[in-house]
Amino acid sequence: MAKAIDSWGSRTGLILAMAGNAVGLGNFLRFPVQAVQNGGGAFIIPYLVCFFLMGIPLLFVEWSIGRFGGKSGNHSTPYILDSMSSKPIWKYIGVFGIFTNIAVVAYYTYIESWTFMYVIHTVIGSFTDLTKEQINDFFLLYVNLEGSDFGIPLLPLWIYLLVLGINVYILSTGLGGIEKVAKIGMPLLIAFGAILAFKGWTMGSNYASDAFPDANAWDGINFLWTPQYGSLLDPKVWMAAAGQIFFTLSVGMGSIQCYASYLKANEDIALNSVTAGFTNEFVEVVLGSAIVIPIAAGFLGLDWVLENAGFGMAFQTMPYLFQQWGELFGVLAGLCWFGLLFFAGITSSLAMGTPWMGFMQDEFGWSKLKGALSFGLMVMIMGIPTVLFYKYGYFDEFDYWAGTVSLVVFALLETILFVWVFGMDKGWKELTTGADIKIPSVYKFIMKYITPALLLIVFVGALFTPENNDWTTALQNLFSGNSWNLDPSSIISKLSHENLDIELQAHPENLEKIEKIKLFSNTARIQLVLLFLTIVGFVYVSHRKRLKK
């Protein structure tokens, strides 16, 4: 077996790289939207509870698993998990820790390419004097490949390949390159975020207009930070809060275990995991909540935000709002916003490349360059369809199955392995070895019982999401002996394309487009299954190689 030649240069670099892995686009794009869609302040308490009962324990589990596997020279989840049990099945469950990263990077890089292009368009003044509707159309034309930006046909595809190439180049330099990017990118990200957050906090009602006379940024801030204790009884809010934890901490992916596997045997993982987790929370809760929603409320009013909050606001609304601050500061704000998103994206996608590279280096003796190039090739094969067929839902299929369902499944299984198969006593000893802090002993109970239970609830909740995501009504119907109607967003309904069938019933004139969406949706699923089976094949071959040795 090849010996690990990579290592972290400093604790600061490791923490920043781990924080960069966690701090991603979800901190600034998904968190504010989730908060708005789940009642603002009603979302905060369940979210923080889930952070302490599920987020922190999962960080403890993944850092511990990673360092333990690294002691045996394993730097990828198949053999990290295999080192913790004599049952061969765990190495194949560990395939999720490679599969998820490749599949997510395939479409995640496309979002990075949007931020890259929006930085350029901000600098050259493409958004100057455009109306809100024109900027909205600007984004739609870009992702739907309609028109030729700068006179270059299929420009989004070429920018996607360029950004992917940047990722591959940095990956080829090993942990040292990732650490350097984290040391530059994370401080810049926080600085950019602080500038925009300060503006959000100080806007007040200064930018109210005749069209939106009641606009006030503080309405957005108060909406997000006024606790509503009634949410503690709303299962829908709890499910949304638990789901956000996965996105924000990058748990259930395999990248944390890979990073931790390069640590020394007695290096502190307790403090490192807590530091990385709280750094992420600072960025998300303090900065992420102070940018999109308050700024939009400051110009357009809270009612507009509540009605229109969505992922697209970052690209379809924010450029217009920045222009209202004047030409000079509008450009600065745009640079801060899209530069922030770019650094948030690339520090996360770099982490996703390391599990594959660690696996190929350990099991097949591949060099960093060969590992990075092979990773880039697989991502390109998987990702090009998400660019070309974005409007037919290819991107959404990858995001749902690889970026959502896969995370929950893997996190649940690895937690069961750590606390029930490997054993909580051994796991606790691994976690606390070399620790500079004393972890409250109550976390032994939380990690063994509460966290697995929450993960199981999240998975079952996604599997059987009730109609309109109305858990209260669904539970009342169930206890009354009535049927449990599934929402089209549930896993079971998604498998059967029930959401598309419902849309077709409402809009039969869209038959041709919906049939295309079904076709591409099924193709995307086949592609994901083939990727998973391909990685299983590599693991099987590597296992046979180990047996021969």
465-519: per-residue pLDDT in tens?
Answer: 898 888 888 888 888 888 888 888 889 999 999 888 888 888 888 888 899 999 9
Share of the chain above pLDDT 90, in %: 61
Q: How far apart are CA 264 and CA 246, in angstroms?
A: 27
The pLDDT of residue 298 is 95
Q: How far is CA 355 from the centre of its chain?
A: 16
* Among 81, 60, 59, 61, residue whose Cα is nearest residue 70: 81
- In 140-205, the DSSP E strands lie at none
How high is the pLDDT of residue 153?
Answer: 83
- Kindly report the backbone phi and psi dihedral angles of residue 486, in degrees, each rounded to the nearest multiple of 5, phi listed first: -80, 145
Answer whether residue 167 shows pLDDT above 90. Answer: yes
Domain ranges for the chain:
11-463
Residue 239 has pLDDT above 90, yes or no: no
Fill in the DSSP letter of residue 310: S
230 pLDDT higher than 80: no
* pLDDT > 50? residue 1: no
Confidence of residue 6 (pLDDT cuts 50, 70, 90): low
Mean pLDDT within 413-428: 96
More confident residue, 106 or 182: 106
* pLDDT at res. 286: 87
The fraction of the chain above a pLDDT of 70, given in percent, is: 97
pLDDT tens profile 348-399 = 999 999 999 999 999 999 999 999 999 999 999 999 999 999 999 999 999 9
**Eight-state DSSP code of residue 228:** -
Query: What pLDDT shows up at residue 9?
Result: 64
**Top-level class of domain 11-463:** mainly alpha
Of these ranges, 238-252, 338-352, 365-379, the one predicted with the greatest mean pLDDT is 365-379
Q: Which residue intervals of 51-154 are DSSP H helices?
A: 56-71, 77-82, 89-93, 96-124, 132-143
Q: What mean pLDDT do residues 9-34 have?
A: 78
pLDDT confidence tier of residue 7, bands split at 50, 70 and 90: low
Res 5 pLDDT > 60: no
Residue 107 contacts residue 352 (beta carbons within 8 Å): no
Helix axes of 511-548 and 96-124: crossing angle, nearest 10 degrees: 130
| Three-state secondary structure call for residue 507 | coil
d(CA 371, CA 175): 13
Write out pLDDT tens, residues 260-279: 998 888 889 998 899 889 98
Which residues are CB-neighbours of 181 under 8 A, at least 6 positions away?
A: 20, 170, 346, 347, 350
pLDDT at 469: 82
Higher-confidence position of 147 and 246:
246
Range with lowest mean pLDDT among 19-33, 98-112, 117-131, 342-356: 19-33
More confident: 482 or 167: 167
Is 188:196 a contact under the CB 8 Å cutoff? no
pLDDT at 418 over 80: yes
Average pLDDT, the chain: 90
pLDDT of residue 500: 86
**So what's the pLDDT on residue 269?**
92
Instruction: Give pLDDT tens digits for 93-117.
Output: 999 999 999 999 999 999 999 999 9
Distances (CA, A) of 461 to 231, 275, 502: 17, 30, 21
Per-residue pLDDT band at 8 (split at 50, 70, 90) = low
What is the rounded average pLDDT of the residues 330-354?
Answer: 92
Residue 537 pLDDT exceeds 80: yes
C-alpha 61 chain-centroid distance = 19
Q: What is the mean pLDDT of residues 241-253?
A: 87
Q: Between 368-388 and 327-364, two packed helices, what is the crossing angle to 10 degrees? A: 130
